[in-house]
Amino acid sequence: MLDQMIAPYEPAIQLLASIPGIGRQSAIQIISEIGVDMTQFSSSKRLNCWAGLSPNSDKSAGKKKSVRISRAGVYLKPALVQCAHAAVKATEKSSYYHVKYEQIYKRRGKKRAIIAIARMMLTAIYHMLSTGEVWNPTDLYKIDMPDNLVQKQKDKAIKQATKLLIVEGLLPEDFVKKEPLLN
């Protein structure tokens, strides 16, 4: 009976199952919560807020009272957190979500890192269901970052690498970057 009910959503289920950490059952649960029509959400940020994965900050008179995720998404949020755990624990240690988890975990802690991974997964789901494209980790930075921000990050990385090489003594101290190394 369940197979008959999910038959119209089979392409979307296969699409979501291509994301590491999301299996068939999880894909069914996610689609049953958000549907396949993403026009009801104006952006991925709205979907994240609806799912209860965006930080809820209460400020009054310049004082922060709370910076925690909202209580929304009582069924969707646990499913995405479970998928995030599975994606982080993936067998290939160089997987996209594992690397991102390690970066965030060092700065923010385990629980916040898992919520951040769940948010990344839901953003990817939004764009996949909107465009119909298969999950591709190399395109994820293009979704959320404009081109000028990508260029700023490249310039910052070059500047930091140059500074490190000067400190280590591999470059002379009067070294000045005359031309950009990466275009």
Which run of H or of E encompasses 60? strand 55-60
For residue 2, pLDDT beyond 80: yes
For residue 58, pLDDT beyond 70: yes
Cα 39 from Cα 46, distance rounded (Å): 11
* Per-residue model confidence (pLDDT) at position 41: 95
* Per-residue model confidence (pLDDT) at position 151: 82
CA angle 51, 56, 59 (to 5 degrees): 160
Which whole number is the average pLDDT over 32-49?
94
| Helix, strand, coil in percent for the chain, rounding step 5 | 65, 5, 30
* Per-residue model confidence (pLDDT) at position 65: 72
Tokens of 66: 């709370």
Residues above pLDDT 70, as percent of the chain:
87
For residues 48 and 141, which has the higher predicted lDDT (pLDDT)?
48
> Where residue 92 falls among pLDDT bands split at 50, 70, 90?
low
Exposure class string for 28-64: b at 16+ Cβ within 10 A, else e: bbbbebbeeebeebeebeebbbbbbbbeeeeeeeeee
Average model confidence (pLDDT) for the chain? Answer: 85
pTM of the model: 0.73
For residues 8 and 154, which has the higher predicted lDDT (pLDDT)?
8
Q: Where are the domains of the chain?
A: 2-140, 145-183
pLDDT digits (tens, 9 = 90+) for 125-183: 999 999 998 888 765 555 555 677 778 888 888 888 888 888 888 888 777 655 555 55
Which whole number is the average pLDDT over 92-110?
84
Q: Which residues pair with 59 in a beta bridge?
A: 64
Give 86's DSSP letter. H
Residues above pLDDT 90, as percent of the chain:
51
> Where residue 57 falls among pLDDT bands split at 50, 70, 90?
confident
Q: Which residues pair with 66 in a beta bridge?
A: 58
Cα 111 from Cα 161, distance rounded (Å): 31
For residue 93, pLDDT beyond 80: no
Lowest mean pLDDT among 3-12, 90-99, 105-114, 115-124: 90-99
